[in-house]
Every structure is written in C-alpha cells, then in structure tokens.
Structure 1
C-alpha cells in the first residue's frame, strides 16, 4: 500500500492534528533494552538528509521507518533502537527539521520533515540556543530527540510572537517559550 502523506498543516485543525498524533503507531523504543550495541554507519546531516555508508537514503518511507526508532540519551548520543539491538548514528545538528508551524487557539502545531506533526507544550518544549543575533530554535519531538526549525518556520514563529506582543515569546498549551537565547 503506497504511503499517503497527511494534508498540509494549514488545512488541519488542532483536533485533527491531535487525532493524527494520537493514532500514529510508534514502536515502544523506550521500553526496549537490547544487549547488542553497535554502529549503524548512518548519519543525519544538518539539512535533514539521511545517509548510510556514504550513500543517501532517498526513500521517504525508509527515513520515516528509521526515524520512528530514534532516541537520544542524556549524553546527547543518538541511537536506533530495536528489540534486539541498539545502534549509534551521527546527527550533525538535530534528528528532525520543523518545516511548518501554525497557531490554532492556544496551541502551536508543527510539521516535521518526516511528515509527522508535533504540538508544542510541556512534553514538546521549544528551546532557543545560540546568541540573540543568530538563535537556533529547537522543538522537542520524542525520546529525547529534537527538530530544528528551518528558516521559514522560524520566521513564521517570530510573526506569531510579534502578533501577541513584542517580547519574542510564544505560548502553546499553557507553556511559554522564549525565542531569544538568554
């Protein structure tokens, strides 16, 4: 059965995005503790492209499958986890890229480069790093992984912040997030 990408973010309500998030079946990687550890020989470039042994993984379905197995540990290392093995991989910046955002009521809805949706909030915080002149904005995804906002998504988020005031903060699901690093 061919993959049907979800509709564009602007065509979806908060309730529809929440339903898509809730119905997505993800592997329970946080419950797996495989004994075998190794190297996947994979890298996720800063632009979101995935490579294995130097060759680009061009099939979006493969990228989505691997992305569903990603975790990041407390030391910042990324892993692909299955019930039988835990394989390291190199991530140049963030495991995902946030490619679109919109506000719906008190929620910020994001679309990732893997066609996944994330609703910012306590479980999916927004954090700002770098310096005030060139901030890097990240969104928590799952299992310790993050998405970096691309330039246009960052610009959209700044517009949302400016519409509600001039302090460059945004709110989502009762949480407030600074867009300028401290």
Structure 2
C-alpha cells in the first residue's frame, strides 16, 4: 500500500478529508498484514512509531472496515489487515439537538444515536465496561471518558421494579441504558 500515492490521489480528487468511499463495493483478496496498530486511545502507529502526519491517519481511517478476518484497509485493488487493540474509533464530542444525541469521532465521523446506531456497554481489553457505538462497515467507536461523563450528567433513572434502577438516556425516541444501580447505591429504601 503506497500511502503517498493514496494521499496524492485523494488530494487530486478534491474529496473531503472525511469522505468515505464505497468500501462495501470493494472486494479485493487479502494482500497480507501491514505493520499498523491502533491503540486503545484511538492513536495510529506504524512500525512502533506514532503517525507523523495526522492527515495520513485521517485518510486511512476512511479506508478502514471490519472484515471476517479482521480490521482491514481497503482500496479497489488491495486489502491489508492491521491490528486494533480495542476499537478503531473514539467518540470525542457529543451534542444533543433535534431530540437526539449526535456523536463525533476523532476523524469527524458524525453518528446519530438511534435504533440503527445503538449505544451498548462492552468490556475493553482492560476489563472496563465502557459504552460503544456502531459507526460504519462493522467499525465501532468507544466513548472517550469526557463524553461518557457528559452523558452521565444527562442521564435519567428508571425503576426496573426488581430492586434496581437503570440509568440511561433517550435519543431519537429510543431508550439507551448506560448501567444499573441497586437500591443501596441509588439512595432509595429497599
């Protein structure tokens, strides 16, 4: 995969830096593994060193999808597998407007929290329960700690009737749970 050639083609095409090509239409055979790693914080590394040009990581993120054999960078003629420690994207901003939560990743992907893009709580490689959100082509984004705290401040509590309360929020007419509290933690009498 010639990154300089990709950057040149991208710049000549006049495409937006965050434009996502039709990766689902491209089905080249696996070309092999490439020494690119995305760490748990969403930072991109090549051969053990951080990407020197953020523009390269931004471009490659537009070519990323999750296939049956792993995370792959895909062009019409190549498909290279990379390593991802947790999830490849990180939600760095949240905004509530038009009766829905809207999330923005580190590469300016904007996703509406709705039935198609539900918020779920999953475990990180370190064993922490942290929300994630599907974005595109099998990719998901982990919520950055600051965004998670912003959502916690906006949360509502619902009594489940079994001695627990669920905390979560509404978005696009749907309820999305962030966790549960038992009566002792929620301050209610049993």
Question: TM-score interval w.r.t. the shorter chain?
Answer: 0.7 to 0.9
TM-score by length of 1: 0.76
Q: Distance in 1 between matches of 2:137 and 2:103?
A: 17
1:136 aligns with 2:135: no
Q: Distance in 2 between matches of 1:115 and 1:163?
A: 31
1:125 aligns with 2:148: no
Q: Distance in 2 between matches of 1:102 and 1:49?
A: 23
1:180 aligns with 2:179: yes
2:93 partner SS: strand
Give 5+ residue unaligned stretches, structure 1. 1-23
Equivalent residue runs for 1:100-179 within 5 Å:
100-130=93-123, 134-162=128-156, 167-179=166-178
Q: Distance in 1 between matches of 2:138 and 2:113?
A: 14
TM-score by length of 2: 0.73
1:92 aligns with 2:91: no
Give 5+ residue unaligned stretches, structure 2. 1-17, 160-164, 181-190
Q: Distance in 1 between matches of 2:114 and 2:179?
A: 18
Q: Distance in 1 between matches of 2:20 and 2:139?
A: 14
Across the two proteins, how many residue pairs are aligned to each other? 156
1:129 partner SS: strand
Q: Distance in 1 between matches of 2:75 and 2:68?
A: 19
Aligned to 1:11: none
Q: Which has the higher contact order (CA 8 A, sep 6+)?
A: 1
Bigger radius of gyration, 1 or 2? 2
- 1:53–1:172 distance in 2 versus 1, CA, 3 Å: same
Contact kept, 8 Å, 1:161 with 1:167, in 2: the verdict is no
Contact kept, 8 Å, 1:110 with 1:117, in 2: the verdict is yes
Q: Distance in 2 between matches of 1:152 and 1:141?
A: 19
The alpha-carbon deviation at position 130 of structure 1 amounts to: 3.6
Q: Distance in 2 between matches of 1:45 and 1:79?
A: 15
